[in-house]
Structure 1
């Protein structure tokens, strides 16, 4: 069984993390954040901001993409994760659901598809399967990378419900999303990445009220149209 971090320590602690790809491409610069026990923390940002890179650094899959941590560190409880392989992360209780599903019963609909090839499932069903596969490892911290990507609004709502159910069971979640409305409605805290650096951090509800987040990530106009309905994609 994975060790449980003490109550006064964050489940996940990322400190001044620098990541590069190849020899020169800087992807993250001095990124720091915590995920408390049982919390949902959202990570927002445009494509290329470094969100997926951060999840890879936590899950130990960075080197599979020719990336490397060049400074800082990642720790889950008393387990050092930076520079370790994915097995170390999983044994510590940290499991990632990657972007794009990548699949060939919290989700009863899948019971009707038990003899169907995963590649022939709908996008929403594939996302359910990808999350279900990760839950088989009984994670204490679930890393979700763009779970609503390419899904219809009704399915986005269902995925949001699933994340709430998972979190209610005691699993912390670090949620990477371009759908800021969905992410901020689920999260307690949020961080905004821009070009590999954390630009904004704070209480999710408070960030949702800031002009910058409302304009750039919630699609609100000057008159306040739009909002936190889970569909305000950025």
Structure 2
């Protein structure tokens, strides 16, 4: 297993500075969470690592990104995938007009290995997400939001990543589906895949991660063990929405369960 080292990373979109001197580390086999509000620079961080910044008219202006001893900032996006670093973008971004099966096959295009490895990866994806096997011939755009998130994860896994970059995987999902995706992330990590998780749902992220960083206006404001950040007054107030210790612990530990709503009648 390999570690990711981000050192002094600065990123700009033209004259706008999105990240300033950001440093973080993802140890081998770990889940590391990045928290922060809208505009904090979380997605920009993942784009800088995956080398997709230029597709968003951004550019790194300083710093270094190293994975397994190799400088990712000297590679293009396809080479980063081949090196074992794969991103699941915010909003899922599945190929809506292609079938579920074709979306998964597309995920394997940049991967190392041949048919045998691809078949094994597909079997693993179907094991994690049986619904994708059942709907292999259905257009991806007809899937529900939760199923599309499963497809986006499955497509990334087809590239057999050693480091998975997840950008807001619970965004727009019902609490029960978000909890299911979180459990799948645990299973993926248990097989040895490291995870860098960008997530606005701080309670979910802190349950999954062993280490967490908080970005604020493009800079690292806080960092440390996830359980220590969960106990931080600032994190509780700003990201968990609670102010007392008992409520904070409940927010971090409780499993998300969708409430049962009844139709209102006059």
Aligned match of 1:8:
none
Q: Which protein shows a greater Rg?
A: 2
- Cα deviation, 1:61-120, whole Å, max 9, x if unaligned, reads 011111111111101022111142111211110000000001121101222222221111
Aligned match of 2:87:
96
Please give the TM-score of this superposition, normalised by the length of structure 2: 0.81
**After TM superposition, where is structure 1 displaced by more than 2 Å over at least 4 residues in a row?**
221-226
Tell whether 2:43 aligns with 1:21.
no
Aligned match of 2:159:
137
Instruction: Provide structure 2 residue ranges, at least 5 long, that are not aligned to the other structure.
Output: 97-125, 257-266
Please give the TM-score of this superposition, normalised by the length of structure 1: 0.92
For residues 204-215 of structure 1, the aligned pairs below 5 Å read 204-215=226-237
Identify which of 70, 91, 99 aligns with 1:79. Answer: 70
Tell me the distance in 2 between the aligned counterparts of 1:84 and 1:223: 45
Greater shift after overlay, 108-117 or 119-128? 108-117
Instruction: Provide structure 1 residue ranges, at least 5 long, that are not aligned to the other structure.
Output: 6-10
SS in 2 for 1:225: helix
SS in 2 for 1:137: coil
Identify which of 146, 149, 152 aligns with 2:174. Answer: 152
- Cα deviation, 1:207-226, whole Å, max 9, x if unaligned, reads 00010101111111457535
Q: Number of matched residues? A: 223
- Residues 231 and 245, structure 2, Cα contact 8 Å, conserved in 1: no
> Compared with structure 1, are the counterparts of its residues 223 and 87 closer, same or farther at alpha carbon in structure 2 (3 Å cutoff)?
closer
Tell whether 2:174 aligns with 1:174.
no
- Residues 31 and 195, structure 2, Cα contact 8 Å, conserved in 1: yes
Tell me the distance in 2 between the aligned counterparts of 1:135 and 1:127: 12
Tell me the distance in 2 between the aligned counterparts of 1:18 and 1:194: 14
- Residues 88 and 167, structure 2, Cα contact 8 Å, conserved in 1: yes
- Residues 4 and 65, structure 2, Cα contact 8 Å, conserved in 1: yes
SS in 2 for 1:199: strand
Tell me the distance in 1 between the aligned counterparts of 2:133 and 2:181: 17
Identify which of 122, 133, 142 aligns with 1:111. Answer: 133
Tell me the distance in 2 between the aligned counterparts of 1:123 and 1:26: 32
- Residues 233 and 243, structure 2, Cα contact 8 Å, conserved in 1: no
Identify which of 22, 27, 42 aligns with 2:33. Answer: 42
> Compared with structure 1, are the counterparts of its residues 125 and 75 closer, same or farther at alpha carbon in structure 2 (3 Å cutoff)?
same
